[in-house]
Structure 1
Amino acid sequence: MKFLKGKKKPLFSINNNQPIPSSKDLLKQVKDRNQQTQLYSSLQKNLEEFKKAIGNSTDVTIRPFRIGHARSMKAAVIFTDGLANETFINDFIMEPLMNDDQLKTTPYNLTEIKEQILTMANVEDLCDFDKLYTSVLSGDTVILFDGFNQGFVTDTKSWESRNVAEPQTQTVIRGPHEGFTETLRTNTALIRRKIRDQNLWLESRQIGTRTKTDIAIMYIKGVANDKVVEEIHRRLDQINIDGILESGYIEELIQDKTFTPFPTIFNSERPDTIAGGLLEGRVAIIVDGSPNVLLVPALFVQFLQTAEDYYHRTDFGLIRLLRYIALFISLLAPSLYIAITTFHQEMLQTSLLISIAAQREGIPFPAFIEALMMETTFEILREAGIRMPRAIGPAISIVGALVLGESAVAAGLVSPAMVIVVSITAISGFILPSFSMGIPIRILRFGLMALAASFGLFGIIVGLIAIVLHLCSLRSFGVPYMSPVAPMNLSDQKDTILRFPLWAMRSRPRLISQLDTVREQTPKPEPPKK
């Protein structure tokens, strides 16, 4: 085969046989365009540059007009339809500028316009195109003037948002029934309603080269550890991504660089839970567009606590202890059944052993395959119930579990004892307050089942030792993940597995808050005199 010789010609051409620019040329054009950041003095040039940058998008409104009674100066407002409040723009921007008597004389002074004419509460100076694009596409209104290379940005954000309602994933019987929404300012206001302290600081930034998502960091100055706050800022500064759509993006990008199934950042939809964490010295990270607020540092014991633990009269940790028992049942029940029925039958009572042996008579699969089939089936039903519409989701999960379980027993594929074990395991998993902690338990359950099928109880013990060692090696922003259990801190045991009365918990967690450690000065109540 002979190759064509000579100068290569472009495959396609546009007008006058000009080739289509390559990707490098396009990137160079975009880079050259982005280098022009300073506004022009000509209003027409500014509007042309803006239209070229946004591609003449139809949802962006550009309204030219003349200001003052003299009508000698051109101006324009730019806003995004659906993100900005047009009533505010008409009443507080355009009407004062077009009809105000103070604008009879020329030349106009922008400082005078900002301080005397515009009646909006928040008016900022604008000098570059980058801020122009971000402001307009964020819901603000930009005002540009002819003959000036600067303008104004006014806060006119107003879009449809969800009302404050009860959280769907963290419900309580006693306590506030309000949850975060997808609006950043609503979420920060819900927290400020709980903590009316001047030391509650809020720091904002934008992350995402394209989405420019607003991120807020809240902490109580003098209570939160300054090193933790600095570390959060450092990790956020290192994020270089095109978009942040949910707080899960931030959680994964700033967590400690360790391959672990366990969550090292706590998240909640409840303002009272986040406020309680702030009072303990933690730092909240709020992401615009997400109802889940992040809380760091996070501890293992924190995922087994609920806000309702502190609203009811103290039960000294009996309900919380029940959660720990359910955690071990959800993690170990199938593997213990496999190990005992396969390798350690002598641990069972004779009558119980005979009953289980009779049930397993005719079952064609070993206990491990039997448990694996049932657990996989239940996980499929769980996911189907979550993804299906709410009207039929619970019906599918309940009917599917009953029908499949009964049919599997009738068909001789699984034993009734295995159905009971899987059911107890599933119910115990639902007791865990945090959904993010339930995921690693579900994953590790299958690994322990495989160890139990291979080595019996010895394999389970080795697996538990590996899990404990892994948990003890984790850290969340410098704080040991298993504290205050490992390392042991006796003063913090009042709110770990047990829950002492509120008057007894006078100090904040030692490893989290190292500045203002005392949170209660109330003395212990004395018994009534006889």
Structure 2
Amino acid sequence: MNGDETPENDHVAGDVRYSLADNLHLIKEKTGNSSDIVIRRLKTGAESKVETAIVYVGGIADEKTIHEFLIESITNSEKLNDKETGQEVINCISADSVSLGGVKQKTSFSAVLNSLMAGDTVIFVDQTQCAIIASTKGGEKRSINEPENQRAFRGSREGFIESLDTNISLVRKIIKNPNLWVEKMNMGSVTKTDVAIMYINGICNEKTVKEVKKRLAGIEMDSILESGYIEQLIEDVPFTTFPTIYHTERPDMVAGNLLEGRVAIFVDGTPFVLLVPAVFIQFFQSVEDYYSRFDIATFIRFLRVLIFFISLIAPAVYVGATTFHQEMIPTELLIVIAAQREIVPFPAVVEALIMEISFEILREAGIRLPKAIGSAVSIVGAIVIGQAAVQAGIVSPAMVIVVAITAISSFATPAFAMAISARMIRFLFIIAAAATGFYGIILGLIFMFVHLSSIRSFGVPYMMPFAPFIPKNWGDAIFRTPWWTHEKRPELLGNDNKLRQGSDQKPQPPDDREMKVKQPKGDGNETQH
């Protein structure tokens, strides 16, 4: 819900009280006389007759700013010495005495209370029916570090933090353009969470911006604690394991997607920023792909897609081959596998399910354990359990190898949301392979691609540029062509401003092939340029 007036604040709706004592009493009453509500009383005006109170919430307001730019400014202001009425004092404080930006007067008590809870400082003056709101949001926050979940070997090392304003500023440092527009709103009737959308006017499709605003305005919840709340409430297809909204911790990733015509959604209190619309191939792209040469980026992207399918169907292929299609396995290898499985009492599908579930348990335990021992427990646990399972005759060594390769492949997908989707669908492919062999795997892939082709993300086909087939966009799909070929932005995303760069950007070697640096003459101590 947006705006200052919210249903739970209807009982405090109305104007600020005329009496300072009544205003302070109402503040204490509505906050339960909380110990972190700080009230500082001052006397200002002619002969110090006008009573003033500064109210803020300790911990979320910048107390240094409050003392240096509010309290000292008011107490040392000579312009207040001749003010006799409360209205004159409040006008003087608002206009001259406070050297802070974002100073404004409010008459609605619910608006004053919301601003106080958001970290602003409220100044009440006796005998006036309005209050001054000074922007003093601050408090302790995490420093800007490299994101842990999206590391890159090349590019910026800055990552988003839990501060909304800081995250917005990180993107503005990259895109220094007045057309980078930001619109803020307040969501969550209880939490009052600040949410902001960011887009580049003139590049982003206006219909996409309107659709984002419409879906955000339709959210009516009492709490928005993380961007995942919003992601689940605005996605096009709620019943799918594939992510239709991209989230990232990297400012350069957000900047690159904004330049393609997407909309970014920031939520206060989380370092994860949402990007819409999203397409399937986007989850296999990484930020360093655009910083590396096109041949290297193409090879790595193709490898990621191959790895995704390995993590998706590798155990199912093993189950199908050993159960139904032994003729497709080389004879020597088939003899080795048969000898290994001779002492295993379970069919291949049970082997696969046991190992996959065991590895998922180890992976989840490694995440929940303290960081110092989590990785060690996961690695040691996998080795010990795998070796013990083979020696006990529960699983065959070949199955351990297949499951290990599958697990490693799942870590190579850049987007965690896509990797965990593959982990879930993998079990369905194993069951399909156990039922009908390779036919079940092929049928499952057909159903999966039909489902992917039917998905939309804010009106954009999820399988673009494959379905619909858009040859112009293939230069930045599985393959990445050189930068000088990307003259236009992706179709179906950008606005009328399709042009990304000038024509004829291909580097041209000079016609003159002569060496620019001549060989040294004489004894080699002199060099001519």
Q: TM-score range by the shorter chain?
A: over 0.9
Do residues 46 (structure 1) and 23 (structure 2) align?
yes
Match of 2:38 in 1: 61
Matched, 1:311 2:288: no
How far is the alpha carbon of 1:459 from its aligned partner?
1.0
One-letter amino acid matched to 1:388: L
1:511 aligns with 2:492: yes
Q: 1:528 aligns with which of 510, 513, 518?
A: 510
**What residue is the counterpart of 1:481 in the other structure?**
462
The equivalent of 2:437 in structure 1 is 456
Counterpart for residue 415 of structure 2 = 434
Secondary structure at the aligned position of 2:104 is classed as strand
* Cα shift at 1:96: 2.9
How far apart in 1 are the matches of 2:365 and 2:83?
A: 70
Residue 106 of structure 1 corresponds to 84
SS in 1 for 2:371: coil
Q: Is the 8 A contact 2:94 2:105 kept in 1?
A: no
Three-state SS of the structure 1 residue aligned to 2:239 is: coil
**2:481 is matched with which residue?**
500
Partner amino acid, structure 2, of 1:186? T
1:320 & 1:94 partners in 2: Cα distance?
Answer: 58
Between the aligned partners of 1:408 and 1:476, the Cα distance in structure 2 is 44
Paired position in structure 2 for 1:261: 241
> 1:374: Cα distance to partner?
0.3
Which segment is superposed worse, 187-196 or 33-42?
A: 33-42
1:125 aligns with 2:105: yes
Distance in 2 separating the partners of 1:424 and 1:153: 59
Equivalent position to 1:362, from 343, 352, 355? 343
CA contact (8 A) 2:237 2:456 kept: no
Shifted more, 182-191 versus 348-357: the winner is 348-357
1:153 paired with 2:133, answer yes
* Among 280, 300, 310, the residue aligned to 2:280: 300
Worse-superposed segment, 95-104 or 515-524? 95-104
1:85 CA drift (Å): 2.3
Matches within 5 A, 1:76-95: 76-95=53-72
Name stretches of at least 5 consecutive residues in structure 2 with no aligned partner: 1-6, 514-529
Which of 59, 69, 73 is residue 50 of structure 2 equivalent to? 73
- Distance in 1, matches of 2:10 and 2:315, equals 62
Cα distance, 1:325 vs structure 2: 0.6
* Cα-to-partner distance string for 1:398-422 (whole Å, 9 max, x where unaligned): 1111111111111111111101110
- The code of the aligned residue for 2:60 comes to L
Equivalences, count: 501
Match of 1:213 in 2: 193
Alpha-carbon distance in structure 2 between the residues aligned to 1:496 and 1:395: 37
Q: 2:177 aligns with which of 181, 193, 197?
A: 197
**Partner of residue 243 from structure 1, selected from 216, 219, 223:** 223
Given the two structures, how large is their TM-score scaled by the length of structure 2?
A: 0.92
Give the deviation of 1:514 after TM superposition.
3.0
Task: Pick closer, same or farther for the CA change 1:32–1:268 going to 2, 3 Å.
Answer: closer
| Amino acid in structure 2 at the alignment position of 1:202 | V
- 2:104 and 2:149 map into 1 onto residues whose CA distance is 40
Does the 8 A contact of 1:69 with 1:98 survive in 2? no
How much has 1:174 moved relative to structure 2? 1.3
Greater displacement, 281-290 / 63-72: 63-72
Q: Distance in 1 between matches of 2:311 and 2:220?
A: 39
Q: Specify the alignment match of 1:19 in structure 2.
A: none
Q: Distance in 1 between matches of 2:121 and 2:377?
A: 49
Change (3 A) 1:487 1:120: same
Q: Deviations over 1:281-307 (max 9, x none)?
A: 001001111001110100100000000
Cα deviation code 1:176-207 (max 9, x no counterpart): 11100111111011100110011000000110
Q: Is the 8 A contact 1:68 1:99 kept in 2?
A: no
- Distance across 1 between alignment mates of 2:10 and 2:177: 46
Distance in 2 (alpha carbons) for counterparts of 1:468 and 1:237: 33
Listed as ranges, the matches of 1:244-393 within 5 Å are 244-315=224-295, 317-393=298-374
The residue that corresponds to 2:521 in the other structure is none
Aligned-pair identity in percent equals 49
Q: Which residue in 1 is equivalent to 2:527?
A: none
How far 1:213 moved relative to its partner?
A: 0.6
Q: Which of 447, 467, 478 is residue 448 of structure 2 equivalent to?
A: 467
What is the Cα deviation at residue 434 of structure 1? 0.5
1:235 is displaced (CA, Å) by 0.6
Measured against aligned partners, the alpha-carbon deviations of 1:341-375 in whole angstroms (never above 9, x if no partner) come to: 10111111211111111111011000000000000
**Whole-angstrom distance in 2 between the partners of 1:33 and 1:174:** 52
Alpha-carbon distance, 1:95 to partner: 2.7
The offset of 1:31, in angstroms, is: 7.0
Match of 1:222 among 193, 198, 202: 202
Give the TM-score normalised by structure 1: 0.92
Structure 1 contact 68–101 (Cα < 8 Å) conserved: no
Residue 444 of structure 2 aligns to a residue whose secondary structure is: helix
Following superposition, the deviation at residue 473 of structure 1 comes to: 0.6
Separation (CA, whole Å) in 2 of partners of 1:36 and 1:219: 34
CA distance, structure 2, for counterparts of residue 278 and residue 380 of structure 1: 38
User: 1:354 & 1:105 partners in 2: Cα distance?
Assistant: 100
In 2, the alpha carbon distance for the partners of 1:32 and 1:157 equals 22
Q: Give 3-state SS (helix, strand or coil) of 2:99's partner.
A: coil
Paired residue type of 1:497: I
1:91 to partner: Cα distance: 2.5
d(CA) in 2 for partners of 1:335, 1:40 = 71
The Cα shift of 1:258 comes to 3.4
Name the CA shift for 1:33/1:476 in 2 (closer, same or farther; >3 Å).
closer
Aligned equivalent of 1:26: none
Q: 2:29 is aligned with what amino acid?
A: K
Query: Offset of 1:161 from its aligned partner?
Result: 0.5
Matched with 1:412 is 393
Q: Deviations over 1:452-505 (max 9, x none)?
A: 101111111111111111100100000000001110100100010111111111
